Structure 1
Amino acid sequence: MNTKSSLYIPTLENVREARKTLENIVHVTPFQKSFRLSKKFSAEIFLKREDMQPVRSYKIRGAYNKIYQLFKENKVSKGIVCASAGNHAQGVAFACNKLKIDGVIFMPETTPKQKLEQVEMFGEGFIQIKLYGDTFDDCKNAAIEFGKESGAAFIHPFDDPQIIEGQATLALEILEQTKNEIDYLFVPVGGGGLAAGMVTVFSELSPHTHIILVEPSGAASMGVSLKSGKNVTLEEIDKFVDGAAVQKVGDLTFEICKDHVNGCLSVHEGKVCETLLEMYNKDAMVLEPAGALTIAALDQYAEEIKGKNVVCIISGSNNDITRTEEIKERAMLYRGMKHYFIVKFPQRPGSLKDFVLHVLGEKDDITFFEYTKKNSRETASAIVGIELVSSSDFEGLLQRMKGLGYFESYLNNSPNIMNLLV
């Protein structure tokens, strides 16, 4: 028992017991050296491939461990209930099917269709999905209320000792799969269950390892909380990195992490998208946004990790192919290769031709154009999206647009307006 917080803190012994529970359930996933990333960063970089679990994420570890303990104690007679943005739901569905337990799973209405189909497949009739709200936090509150009314046991996705113990079995695997000391361990963080599990094991078995947490900049709840010295709830979050977008990390996970991590980075969602495309094109790896977080963070630690042994946890690969265009768009906006403008066009024949000839560069491309001719005015506005070959071409494009009188407004700096218009 932790005297400061009165919270039950998992121990290494608990983690070893959890491993026995999971022995024939989870895969010992590959621990692969990335030759490309090692060369790029002049380091020895290894990827722990939890995207290759049966449910394509590490979440099966904690979910099965928790549900199995309740099953042994005869506490699931009225079923279980959980809330999840996708990966925890798949782990819960898998466990319900394996143990023949009825489960209700609350998921955000924004959950990608691919994840919904996967949950149903793993549950095989033992689970029911309820779509509720826009965020994980909306679902969590609804699931807790459902559990109170029905008597179903609530399976928290991260803020639970047995969930943490299950996730921590991943740390035991990592330490057994390498003979070399690990200098840096990069861990993706949403609610903090995986991070707390890594801390539980590494603080005892490899205390010299620098543990670096990585979260999306639009949902940096752990970073804000660590800086504040208390667990903070964010008012708004960007839900794009759905597997790691929570408004508040767990009280228990925060307590475990706050004195043992060596850094907490936030990564721009555009950088995550750039990394997703890079990993697919160069390494033939299909990752979900949360699964690419640790690799996307390496640039921020490029100097520190030179010559070091580095491990990045690849947390999942439950991506939906229908998101590809959005991923490409976000990546190009981040790299400064896609720009949106409101452009003033004279209402005369040939004005668009003049714009193409005198404003656009030789290799620039119009990818979006929306214009309505209004005879009552001399000029009318159009929304124009332009793709550049190089981000360095932007200043020249902007100068030509202003110099020839076409420029009215630049939309990239006003994402709310841009999302409304494009």
Structure 2
Amino acid sequence: MESESLQRELRQEILHARRRIYEVGEVTPLDSITLRDPALEIFVKREDLSPIHAYKWRGAYNRMAQLSEKELSVGVITASAGNHAQGVALAARKLGTRAIIYMPLSTPRMKQIAVRRHGGDHVEIRLHGDSYDQASAAAHDCAAEEDLCYIHAYDDLAVMAGQGTLADEIVMSGRGPFDVAYLQIGGGGMAAATATWLKVNFPGIHLVGVEGVHQASMAAAVKAGHPVSLDHVDVFCDGTAVRKVGTLTHKICADLIDEWMTVTNDEVSAAIQFLWEQLRCIPEPSGAMGVAAILKQREQLAGKRVLSILCGSNMDFEQLANIARRSAVGAARRRYLRIQIPEKAGAMYGLLETLPNSVSIMDFQYGKTDANKAGPIIGFDVSPIEFDALRDALTGGHYEYQEVSAESDVGFRLIHYDPKLMQIPTFITLEFHERPGALAEFLKAVSPHSNLCYFNYVYSGERVGRALLGFEFANHQDHDCFPQVLDSARHAYRTYEPVSESTLLRIIGI
């Protein structure tokens, strides 16, 4: 009964919020993606195209626009390491008030710059503590001391109502009804408001709450019957990294969400790649969680009209490399195998010749650790059918192998090697054409004259590949003649360059 009363009040507040939030931003698009096999239509609410590239401006502005002149003259305060901070900053500038924003000391410089860009002279950033909880505690203490209005990121009815206007735009688009909606959940403000508005306008809709595997604070609250604090929260999807959900948001989500599920960071990364390929947009990890859940349940959604919220795209550029690597794992395309071969000249070439032409090598990690046997780790980009063909080829070639896709050292690309085992080594950087068989062709040319003792390569998406290679030799004469060997094999690569003497000494530990 308490939840129903809260939902009625929230619906009324969403109607009132309509009059306020369009002073700041415009309606964001509702894009669609049509898939085949199985056939389904995905509708994506593009909050990445809003004034701060995330939906949080809606709630912050709606809450602050209702402050009295006296409250605005004193100013507001909040704690946030991300999109809520930008929303408060934007609202402070528009409303002519000041905002103190507490952020953890570890907050990336890019996010601090974004807050200052939206707020200008109306914003003061205070860095405090190593976590959001510590920054939030300091902000609450300051609010009490200076009599400032604290703008909560999610557990506030006016904030929730502002977020709910995105659901109102979905309904007003005329593209409904929808069979299923996947709503990512952090503190629960957006999910609670969106669920409230969708359920009253599309009574038959099935709502799925989506959380990160190590972020499921709302599911834990629903199970316990009240908000609880998680001991550990993963921060890969930092926009939904909330240790404890709100009291108000819990009541509504517990009543309206029909199903709960989690997604892994790899699945989220695969969804980011999917959205780039389909819509040419790059969401932040939390922004892709709904689509990650859709792709995870794709088979059972055949024939459905499915809704998701791309809730933001504020992400550090440096995070893209990690996402690109993880996306293929999340889509079950990237498989890493450790393959046993003899430690002798020509063995690596023989292995590459055994591999089917249909497989693409995306990662190669190898360093000499044993005088008699080698275990290169190779990352393949393969479909399930191609992976079966790969295993058949390895078995037919009498190679022993094991999958190491989930191993930590593989993920961090920690290449083990023992420089004491390398005989008269030399190292080069090699640039070659990214085409099937290019590496095998190169190794075929140099294998009679040397033994490969180190191999470090990862696919970069360019037309050329770059690798750091180490070779060892039986005697100094072969070592000294190696440049001539490389020159005679120029048909197999674009260019090479020996590492400097100082680099070589660091590599071999001298």
Which structure would you say has the larger Rg?
A: 2
Structure 2 Cα separation of the partners of residues 386 and 144 of structure 1: 49
User: What residue in structure 2 maps to residue 60 of structure 1?
Assistant: 57
2:408 aligns with 415
CA–CA distance in 2 between the matches of 1:380 and 1:247?
48
2:298: which partner in 1?
302
Q: Which of the numbers 353, 358, 361 marks the counterpart of 2:351?
A: 358
Q: Is contact 1:225-1:232 (8 Å) kept?
A: yes
**Alignment correspondent of 1:212:** 208
Shift of 1:199: 2.8
Is the partner of 1:219 in helix, strand or coil? Answer: coil
Q: 1:85 to 1:215 in 2, by over 3 A?
A: farther
Q: Which AA in structure 1 matches 2:101?
A: I
Distance 2:6 2:201 in 1: 22
Paired with 1:151 and 1:5, the residues of 2 have a C-alpha distance of: 33
> Deviation of residue 321 (structure 1)?
2.6
SS at match of 1:146: helix
| DSSP 3-state at the match of 1:326 | helix
Contact in 1 for aligned 2:7/2:196 (Cα 8 Å): no
Instruction: Check if 1:31 corresponds to 2:27.
Output: no
Partner AA of 1:279 in structure 2: L
Report how many residues are paired: 410
Q: Which has the higher contact order (CA 8 A, sep 6+)?
A: 1
TM-score of the aligned structures, taking structure 2 as reference length:
0.70
Q: How does 1:258-269 map to 2 (within 5 A)?
A: 258-269=254-265
Q: Which residue of 1 aligns with 2:478?
A: none
CA contact (8 A) 2:209 2:257 kept: yes
5+ unaligned residues in a row in structure 1: which ranges? none
Contact 1:236 1:247 in 2 (8 A): yes
Letter in 2 for 1:12: R
For 1:54, the aligned partner's letter is: P
Question: What is the alpha-carbon distance in structure 2 between the residues aligned to residue 380 and residue 145 of structure 1?
Answer: 62
- What do residues 75-131 of structure 1 show as CA deviations (whole Å, max 9, x unaligned)? 244432222231111111101111122222233455454433322211112213334
1:138-177 residue pairs with structure 2 within 5 A?
Answer: 138-177=134-173
Which residue in 1 is equivalent to 2:472? none
User: Is residue 48 of structure 1 aligned with residue 45 of structure 2?
Assistant: yes
Deviation at 1:66, TM superposition (A): 1.1
Q: Does 1:122 align with 2:121?
A: no
In structure 2, the residue matched to 1:393 is 387
Q: Are the structure 2 counterparts of residues 379 and 155 from structure 1 closer, same or farther at C-alpha, using a change threshold of 3 Å?
A: farther
Counterpart Cα distance in 2 of 1:138 and 1:9? 34
Post-superposition CA distance 1:157-203 (Å, at most 9, x none): 11111111111122222111116433322222111000111133234
1:242 and 1:325 mapped to 2: Cα distance? 17
**Partner of 1:82 in structure 2?**
78
Residues 1:106 and 2:95 aligned together: no
TM superposition shift of 1:291: 1.6
SS at match of 2:209: strand
Instruction: Give the deviation of 1:410 after TM superposition.
Output: 6.4
Query: Residues 196 and 327 (structure 1 numbering): CA distance in 2 closer, same or farther, change over 3 Å?
Result: same
Q: What's the counterpart of residue 19 of structure 2?
A: 20
Please tell me the residue identity of whatever aligns with 1:59. Answer: K
Mapped pair 1:251 → 2:247: yes
Within 1, Cα distance between the matches of 2:379 and 2:188?
Answer: 40
Using a 3 Å threshold, how does the CA distance of structure 1 residues 141 and 355 change in structure 2: closer, same or farther?
farther
Cα pair 2:196 2:256 within 8 Å, conserved: no
Q: Does 1:69 align with 2:66?
A: yes
Contact 2:282 2:313 in 1 (8 A): yes
Alpha-carbon contact 1:188-1:290 (below 8 Å) kept: yes
The alpha-carbon deviation at position 370 of structure 1 amounts to 6.2
RMSD between superposed Cα atoms in Å = 3.5
Quickly say closer, same or farther: Cα 1:243–1:112, change in 2 above 3 A: same
Looking at structure 2, the residues matched to 10 and 40 of structure 1 have their Cα atoms a distance apart, in angstroms, of: 43
Residue-by-residue CA offset, 1:235-265 (whole Å, 9 max, x unaligned): 1122111111212211110011101111122
User: Which has the higher mean CA deviation after the structures are superposed, 295-304 or 213-222?
Assistant: 295-304
- The percentage of aligned residue pairs carrying the same residue is 31
The 1:344–1:299 alpha-carbon spacing in structure 2 relative to 1, beyond 3 Å, is closer
Q: Distance in 2 between matches of 1:393 and 1:182?
A: 36
For the 8 Å contact 1:344–1:379, the answer to whether it is kept is: no
| 8 Å Cα contact 1:279/1:286 also seen in 2 | yes
1:175–1:418 CA distance, 2 compared to 1 (3 A):
closer
